[in-house]
Structure formats: C-alpha cells, structure tokens
Amino acid sequence: MKVYQTNEIRNIALVGGAKAGKTTLAECMLFEGGLISRRGSVDDKNTVSDYRQIELERQNSVSSTVMYAEYKGKKINIIDCPGMDDFVGEVVAALKVADTALMVINAQNGVEVGAEIAWRYTTRDEKPVIFVVNHLEHDNSNFDETLRQLTAQFGPKVTLAQYPMNPGASFNAIIDLVKMKMLKFPANGGAPEVLDIPDAERAKAEDLQARLIENAAEADEALMEKFFENGTLTEEELHVGLEKGIANRDIYPVFCTNAKHNMGVGVLMEFIASAAPAPHSVTPLRTTGGKEIRCDAAAGFVALVFKTSIESHIGEISFFKVLSGELTEALDVNNPRRDNKERISQIFSIWGKNRQKVDKMVAGDIGATIKLKDTATNDTLCGLKNAEDVVAPIVFPNPKISMAARAKNTADEEKLAGALHEIHRMDPTLKVEMSKELKQMIVSGQGELHLNFVKWHVETLDKVPMEYFAPRIPYRETITKSAKSMYRHKKQSGGSGQFGEVHMMIHPYVEGMDPQKEFPIRGTEEVPLSWGGKLLLNNCIVGGAIDARFMPAIMKGLMEKMESGPLTGSYARDIVVNIYDGKMHPVDSNEISFKLASRNAFREAFKNAGPKILEPIYDVEVIVPEDRMGDVMTDLQGRRAVILGMESEGTYQKIKARVPLAEMNRYSTSLSSITSGRAMYSLAFAEYAQVPGDVQDKLLKEYEDQQEEED
C-alpha cells in the first residue's frame, strides 16, 4: 500500500440515525474502492463494519468501525458510527478526528433524532457536513419532505447537489447538478450511464444549479467576482467553490443514494475525493494551551488516540490520527499524560477486523497500532522533543443513567470490577465507581440500552453473570435548630475500664455566620467535608473538665456519625459542635471512651435539632419534538420537577427543569417510550434541597426497617 500524502487523504465520519443505512453505505464504498470484491449486507450479517457478535445479533452498530477505501488516487478513511443516542460517545470521538461528516438521512423517515444529535457535535467541533439522502428505493421514501426538513432544521446552507428522478420502488436515476447530467443506474447498481437531462427536467435542474453555483461562489471572493461577471461558473470553478464552501461550513450539499443496490455511491465517492476538504484544509485541532496543531508532514510528530478496542487473539488496538509530522515503524514516542515512552512496533490501516500493514503514515492519516504499554483513549503521542504538544481532549457527554451493579455470585465481584474497567478503557462514556458513600458499585452510561450492552458484554464475553438494581440516592442530613445533649460512656471489666463523658451543643452552620457567644471558645477546628458542607468543632471546655489530648478522639467520634448520619445513614453536613463540659476518670479515661461518648452524644443532639434530609437536585434539559412537548412536561411534573422554561431549537423544543435525582430512575426508557425515541436529554448536578415532609417520613421508615432486618 502506498504512503498517501496529506493532500491525498480524506477523513469522513458516517453519522445519522439508526437504520439510515450507514453500514450499507460503507460496504458499498469499500466495494467501489476495490477493497472487497463482494458487498455484504446487514441482513446477511457479513458486512465489514458490523462484525462484532452483539452487532450481528442485534443488526445494529454499537461501536464505530474504522475503514478505508482507495479511490482515484485518494485514500478515504471512513468511520462508521452508531446511530443510537446510547452510543453517542462513538460519534463524538469520530468527529474529533474526521474532517467531514457524511450525514446519512433515511428518505422514509426524514430528519431523526440521531441526525439532530450528530449535528450538534458537528457544530460544536466546526466540522463540514455533506448530507446523503439514502433509501430512495423504498415506496415510502419522500425526498421532497426530507429536503424540507433538512432546510428547516439546518438552515438555508443546505443545497441540492443532486436530486432523484424517480424515488420509490423503480428508483434508478439521479439528476446531478454539478455535472448537469442524468445518471441512470443498471438494476444491480454500479457505474451509471451518463445521459443528457430530459427536456421535462431541464428548467428545474437549471434553477437548482443556479442556486448551487451562487452558494458555491459566496465561499470565495474571486469566484463571486467571476459569478457577477459571467452569471455562472465553470464546472472546475464550481468544484473550487464547493470545496471551500464545504470546508468553511458555508454550504451543506445534498447527495442521493440507494446504498442497498449501490446506486449513487461511486458518484458520491468521486465528489468526496475531489471536493471534500483534505486534513490541512479544515480548522486544526489545538493543544490544551490553545496552540494550533498545524497539519504538516514536515512538522514535529503529534497524534491523538481517539479509540481503543480489545480484540481476541490480538489484544488492545489503539486507533490514532496523525495530526502533524510522520509516523514510522519502530519510532519511539512520548505519552505526556503518563510521562513515559512508547514504541510504535507496527502501523496498520484498518478495515473492520482486517489489517493492512504499512511502513509510514503522514499528517492527516488515520491508522492503528497494537501493544502499547500504557496509552488510552484521549492520550497524545508525540515526538520526544515536543512533549508539550498535548492535544485538547475529546469532550465526551456526561452519563444520563446510573445503576448499581453486582455479580450474581459474590465470589465474582473482583472479576466483575475488572471486566467493567476493561470496557471503560474501550468506552469512556461508561463510568464505573465503587461508591464508599453508597456502598455499591455504580455503573453510569448514556441510557438503558447502553448499560444492557455492557451487561451483555460482561456475561457473554467475560462469563460473569451480573445484575443491575436501583442505586441508593446520596442524600445528605443536616439540622435546622440548636440542641444540647450529653452522653456518658462507662464500661467496667477486669483491669482498666472505659470512662468518658461529653456535653455538647450543636447548631446549624451557615457560611459567614457569627461565632456563638453562649460559651467561651478556646479553639476551633474547621473541617471542609469531601461530600460538601463543613463541620466546625469548638472547644469550649473550662476548668480542665476534659483534657485537650482527648479532643482528637472526640473529633473522630463526630466524623464517624457525619459519615453515617443518624437519620438514614447518609452523610451529614453543615453543623457546628460546641463541647462545653464533660468528665474524665484518672485511670479509665482513654481515646476510645471519648470517641464513643462524642458519637452517641452527637446522635442524640442531632435528633433533637430539627433534623432534615437533603436530596440531590439535577438540572435537566430535554430536547423534544413540539408535538410531544405536553406529554414530556406532564411526565416531568409527575417526577416532582420544577419547570424553569422552554425555548425553541430548530424544529424542536428545549425544556429546562430541575428534578430530584430520586425521580430520574429509568427516565431514559420512559422518555423514549413517550416520544418514540425522538427526544434526548442531559442532566447535571445543581444543588441539594430539603425533601418534602412525606418523602422524609418514608425514608426514615425505610431506614428503620432496614436496621431491624440487619439486627
């Protein structure tokens, strides 16, 4: 395989909704490029892209697949991305390294939520977009309505480059507005017959081409001058304008395909090879310090690892894009995150599970390597002399759903944790945490389908039966008024006994509050709590009732109850404790005695100080079709949500609300059911707020019952 130079490389990400035909389109592209001699199909479970066991079972992509095709002297790197929101992390990573997004739209369904999601990330990352309207062979396809939706949703820059002559079961011809020819395809697809546009279509085609030319001319001042002088552009000038317009996101051309029968795919690839931007023509990535990484083969070597995969019989595969410089075999590189060296033993161009060994890759190319010692997704690899060039990382979306997980056999807990952490290495949108607070293993992801895929992976591939269940809610406990208490710990046995008596007064802590004046304060210890809030311990002892050497033990006792609150066992916060009296025994007093005395005195005072339970409140944003907005708002209000506002976002509505975390369990499933999968949401922690009285009573009763069961 030849070494392709930067200007000979095109990097595209196939994005869009599920069932839009991205995998089938990728298969055709590999066939047209001569990489495969026979096109597979999703139904026959023999495509290059969907080769993983779960993808074969579900007939849906769950992970992005890196491929390439050689076409007319260009190397087109292709990343086929899943269309379901649960696997959006694959889309985000692919768009980080792709130079153009090929947005595939199902002509039967129009603009779906998968396309909406991908569009937001193309906008965030300033990625050029080419629309491909697929499935034009179906009776239910509606090209005109799909185009209307594209224009309504994504604006007037959406511009036809092609339109179908006869969409539906007999579809076999496209009017190409760039070539101004009709392309008629044979029944089995492939190379079209190039014909003149029929007289009945010529006026329509000329009007649409005039708009295409005008939009292309606007991308370049010199072309605009020629357009004003001549009233049109040559085909060569049109290509120049399209290339600049696409690269600058000034134009989003629309192409037509029937990927199932390989109609229009070769023409699309020809356009990509000639007009899609090369890696050095798009907005460059930056370092964490804001420095642009120039896509230049003569510059120092910098690469970004954007994906990690673990394959049987191979081990870990690291997928990278060379951002600058050149990469050769046996090159020693640096990983700045770990501050260690890695040796690139082999370089591969990848198509699915197949690999083509290459000797070198230059700036702009996408490849893979194996057996790196300690390099993960989002790591930078760079030359030993430019270790400061750390690429700004891929920003993955926050988790939307969390579940507690455990192995069905307690002896497998360690194996389960290991399997989950291995999946996290491949999928950074999966978060795994052993929560000290909740005393549960918490698995967080993008949706219920995402977590079910993780469960399938663990049980099928790692052979560890596991189960999910609702996680505990990280409540907080605090007080609303002052209270006093005392506790005497006395224990006598053979030899020395235990004796400690503590008198305390507690009251709520408020930032900036004046110190209490009821007791003289001899010393204060302020503890910022890792879970939020503070604990203030005031030593108000006079007359030596308790030696200062016992104050650390008293603090230990307090912290034990702060970590396991008296009401529900949750963390307590924002409390001031005044130790104002007590008693010691010259022989029997020791640290354990005062720790136990302070812990029990605190528990009694807490219960008499107007205790309240705080619950985590989250900011929730729901993007929903306008016709489903009422149903979604009704559901949110049933979850004790406070609606903060609504605003339009294209043809969708954005609902902003604050919702208790306790009410968000399995919300992704509920939202999908209400909106037929057309909505999406995000959530982020906002604050802690007091739970309603009836909810607090319920929580107290549940905790009491739990304690009785444990006793």
Q: What is the pLDDT of residues 620-667, one digit of tens each?
A: 999 888 889 999 999 999 999 999 999 987 667 899 999 999 999 889
Round to whole Å and give the CA distance between 534 and 562: 10
Round to whole Å and give the CA distance between 319 and 366: 7
Top-tier CATH class for 302-379: mainly beta
Does the pLDDT at position 253 exceed 90? yes
Would strands 354-358 and 181-184 be described as parallel, antiparallel, or unpaired?
A: unpaired
Q: Decide: 12 and 276 in contact? Cβ < 8 Å.
A: yes
Q: Decide: 403 and 438 in contact? Cβ < 8 Å.
A: no
Structurally, at CATH architecture level, domain 477-610 sits in 2-Layer Sandwich (3.30)
Closest C-alpha to 442, from 411, 475, 415, 468 = 468
Does the pLDDT at position 708 exceed 90? no
Q: Decide: 425 and 474 in contact? Cβ < 8 Å.
A: no
Please, what sign has the CA dihedral across residues 120, 121, 127, 130? negative
pLDDT score at 493:
72
Residues in CB range of 187: below 8 A, 6 or more apart: 172, 261
Task: Return the number of other C-beta atoms located less than 10 Å from residue 326's C-beta.
Answer: 18
- Coil, helix or strand for 426? helix
Going by the DSSP 8-state scheme, the letter that residue 352 receives in this structure is T
Round to whole Å and give the CA distance between 402 and 601: 36
Q: What angle do CA 657, 659, 660 make, to 5 degrees?
A: 165
Round to whole Å and give the CA distance between 76 and 84: 24
Going by the DSSP 8-state scheme, the letter that residue 376 receives in this structure is -
Does the pLDDT at position 362 exceed 80? yes
pLDDT greater at residue 705 or residue 252: 252
Residue 612 tokens read as 């309240």
Does the pLDDT at position 525 exceed 60? yes
Each residue of 500-517: pLDDT tens digit?
999 999 999 998 888 777
Closest C-alpha to 68, from 44, 49, 84, 82 = 49
pLDDT score at 711:
54
Q: How would you write 226-241 as a 3-class SS string? A: HHHHHCCCCHHHHHHH
Residue ranges per structural domain of the chain: 6-203+254-281, 302-379, 401-469, 477-610, 613-694
Can you tell me the mean pLDDT for 558-566?
A: 94
401-469 homologous superfamily: Elongation Factor G (Translational Gtpase), domain 3 (3.30.70.870)
Can you tell me the mean pLDDT for 74-82?
A: 97
Does the pLDDT at position 710 exceed 80? no
Q: Decide: 537 and 550 in contact? Cβ < 8 Å.
A: no
pLDDT score at 219:
83
Instruction: Name the band, by pLDDT with cuts 50, 70 and 90, for residue 386.
Output: low
154, HSE (Cβ side, Cα atoms, 13 Å): 31
Can you tell me the mean pLDDT for 362-372?
A: 95
Each residue of 146-182: pLDDT tens digit?
999 999 889 999 999 999 999 998 999 999 999 999 9
- Hey, do 401-469 and 477-610 end up sharing a CATH topology, with the first three levels equal? no
421, HSE (Cβ side, Cα atoms, 13 Å): 9
- Domain 613-694, CATH: 3.30.70.240
Share of the chain above pLDDT 90, in %: 76
Residue 556 tokens read as 């230990």
What single string gives the DSSP state of each residue in 190-202? SSPEEEPPPHHHH
Q: Decide: 331 and 344 in contact? Cβ < 8 Å.
A: yes
Does the pLDDT at position 494 exceed 80? no
Q: Which helix (H) or strand (E) holds 657?
A: strand 652-660
Can you tell me the mean pLDDT for 370-397?
A: 87
Residues in the chain: 711
Backbone angles phi, psi at 497, to 5 degrees: -105, -160
Q: Which helix (H) or strand (E) holds 99?
A: none
Round to whole Å and give the CA distance between 461 and 94: 25
pLDDT score at 387:
63
Each residue of 453-469: pLDDT tens digit?
999 999 999 999 999 99
Does the pLDDT at position 495 exceed 80? no
Share of the chain above pLDDT 70, in %: 98
pLDDT greater at residue 696 or residue 709: 696
Tell me the helices (H) and strands (E) count for the chain, helix number first. Answer: 16, 36
In single-letter form, the type of residue at position 385 comes to K
Residues in CB range of 579: below 8 A, 6 or more apart: 502, 503, 504, 537, 538, 539, 540, 541, 546, 551, 554, 598
Q: Which residue in the block uniquely carries the two structure tokens 């673990």?
A: 310
Q: Decide: 205 and 160 in contact? Cβ < 8 Å.
A: no
Q: Which residues are 174's β-sheet partners?
A: 164, 183
Top-tier CATH class for 6-203+254-281: alpha beta
pLDDT score at 356:
93
Round to whole Å and give the CA distance between 6 and 701: 67
Closest C-alpha to 615, from 501, 417, 472 = 472
Each residue of 670-707: pLDDT tens digit?
998 898 877 888 889 999 999 999 999 999 998 888 87
Round to whole Å and give the CA distance between 711 and 706: 9
Does the pLDDT at position 233 exceed 90? no
In angstroms, the Cα distances linking 76 to 32, 38, 126, 240, 652 are 12, 19, 20, 19, 34
Q: What angle do CA 627, 633, 637 make, to 5 degrees?
A: 165
Each residue of 16-71: pLDDT tens digit?
988 899 999 999 999 999 999 999 999 889 999 998 888 888 888 899 999 999 99
Q: Which residues are 444's β-sheet partners?
A: 402, 431
- 111-120, 197-206, 409-418, 575-584, range with the lowest pLDDT: 111-120
Residues in CB range of 280: below 8 A, 6 or more apart: 6, 7, 294, 295, 296, 363, 364
Round to whole Å and give the CA distance between 219 and 692: 58
Closest C-alpha to 138, from 268, 15, 265, 21 = 21
